[in-house]
Amino acid sequence: MIRKPFGLFKAIASTLAIILVLLLAACSGNGSGDKPGTSDTGPNGNADEVKPANNDQEVTLKFYFGGEKPAATDEVWAKVSDYVKAKGLNVKFNINFIPWNDFSGRLLIMAASGDKWDLNFDTDTSFNQMAAKDSYMPLNELLPKYAPHLNDKYKEQGTLATATVNGKIVGLPWAMKMNQRPYAGWRVDLAEKAGIVRKPDSVKTIEDIDKLLHELKAAYPNAKISRTPPQALFIVRDEWVDLAFHGLGFYMDDPKHTVRAIEQQPFYVESGNLAKKWFDDKILNRDAMIDSESGADQWRNGKTMFTLTSHEWAYANPGFSDPSFRQQMSWVYPDKRFVNRSQLANVLAINRNSEHADRVLRFLDMLETDRELYDLVLYGIEGKTYVLNGETVEYPGDMQYMTSNYMEWGGQWAFWKSQFMRPTQTYSKNFWLEEAKFASLPVNVDSPVEGLFITEDNIKAEVAKRDDTYEGYGKKIEFGNVDNVEQAVAVYIAKQRESGIDKVIADVQRQVDQYLANKKS
């Protein structure tokens, strides 16, 4: 952010104000910095650049999360404010939600516009872009100073490297371990009514799924079957490692980790042909490419009969809107390796323009050690947004997943603390221990480039053109909405070459090679 120079009068006034603050601080006899006030960090986000202020002054922290805002949010966070004020942190909260389909794009627009906020949830799909555009505040010195317990936890886990860019810590990763390899799921209550029966874990391959989908369509010709294109199935079948960078990746068995564009791979044509078959046979919903409603919500509400999901939702309670709905899940390609979920799958970040980074970090540090505060932030107000049944958190009254006034709010995952998590109606006791065990199976592996942060510094124009070309050509192929797949893919590849994909691949390959070389040294 470019600052305009002060005039002479403003400069004198500013100097006098700083002198006055320093004199007051000296008179207080507290030079330890244990009770920091509001902050205004410099361009490097260093703790020694935080300007002291009156800690008794109330400030409002503006947070952004994803999804729809639950009805009781403001009431809950007013209670959070009362609680932390009683503990010495004088803050209020302005809690905002951005619908998931707009989330990443809106964050990027807000950051480019120079908007001010204090903390936001982010995911690996947009965190790299936000960090590459210098949208997040470096926390190297601020984190240990204002959140020592949280800093110690990250040291113990060794996960901060995943959110470190050019030596600057710009994000706070979540603490969970899991794997999101594909599981095929279908409405088994409807399938059984039609005489469609599958033995447990017998739907393992693309061919198995294709056969099941056609049987469901034949039994329910007017139903919406699926909104999910098949590309994820080919990715796991061929052990493709997605770099989460504009459709680039490499094959797991390639010792050189050769970076490739996904549209140039043989499985891309295969996937496109199967997508077209599903589109033509009305298995893939005609509006799937433009449908903005959450796929998870459609599944819970019975608007689709088939889904591709993960181990998590194969074993969690999906929160169906009708108790008669039942699901059957099957592990797809269980013999194939698949990379574990990135530590940046759920991450918190402090906006570059935040004026209260110190208080945000103090709040996060309190969450690390205070179970009462954790319960309040995660579950809300006992008796109003949740009730306790022993140690299990349940919905109060007649509320369920889809009608909850607070629980399961979007973006909470980056706040999860294993030491405080309670069983819920969604996640049973020890659920996340089982998720970690699953992620530790031999076929579930850590990415060889986990922690790599790919920058766009040298390829910004080419990457922008690549994204535009995908929207114009690639998306239609992946959803089967083209006349001839082979011809459409050939045109798409040519368009991407015109957009500069070779330069993008070369630059990303350089970064991958350098990262792997540094790991060995």
CA atoms of 113 and 141, how far apart (whole Å): 27
Token couple for 53: 């202020």
Token couple for 54: 């009156």
Q: How far is CA 461 from CA 107, 458, 464, in A?
A: 20, 8, 5
179-191 pLDDT per residue, tens: 999 999 999 999 9
Answer yes or no: is pLDDT of 29 > 60.
Answer: no
The number of angstroms, rounded, from the C-alpha of 222 to the middle of its chain's C-alpha atoms is 35
Q: Which of 292, 290, 255 is nearest to 98 (CA)?
A: 292
CA atoms of 511 and 519, how far apart (whole Å): 12
Token couple for 137: 């505040």
pLDDT-derived band at 451, boundaries 50, 70, 90 = confident
pLDDT (0 to 100) of residue 227: 93
Q: What is the mean pLDDT of residues 433-440?
A: 94
Q: How far is CA 143 from CA 365, 371, 378, in A?
A: 9, 21, 22
CA atoms of 175 and 161, how far apart (whole Å): 13
Rounded to the nearest integer, the mean pLDDT of the chain is: 89
Token couple for 521: 């040294």
Answer yes or no: is pLDDT of 213 > 70.
Answer: yes
Lowest-confidence pick of 44-53, 60-69, 112-121, 192-201? 44-53
pLDDT (0 to 100) of residue 17: 39
Q: What is the mean pLDDT of residues 259-272?
A: 98
pLDDT (0 to 100) of residue 452: 87
pLDDT (0 to 100) of residue 295: 84
Q: What is the mean pLDDT of residues 478-500?
A: 98
* Strand 338-339 relative to strand 444-445, pairing: parallel
153: amino acid identity, one letter: K
Strand partners, 249: 242, 260
Q: What is the mean pLDDT of residues 494-505?
A: 98
Answer yes or no: is pLDDT of 4 > 50.
Answer: no
pLDDT-derived band at 55, boundaries 50, 70, 90 = low
Q: What is the mean pLDDT of residues 154-176?
A: 90
Residue 96 CB partners (closer than 8 Å, separation 6+) = 62, 63, 64, 65, 69, 117
Answer yes or no: is pLDDT of 32 > 80.
Answer: no
* Strand 248-251 relative to strand 240-245, pairing: antiparallel
Could you give the percent of the chain with pLDDT greater than 90?
77
Q: What is the mean pLDDT of residues 107-131?
A: 92
CA atoms of 124 and 119, how far apart (whole Å): 16
CA atoms of 155 and 149, how far apart (whole Å): 10
Run of H or E including 339: strand 338-339
The residue with tokens 């564009």 is: 261
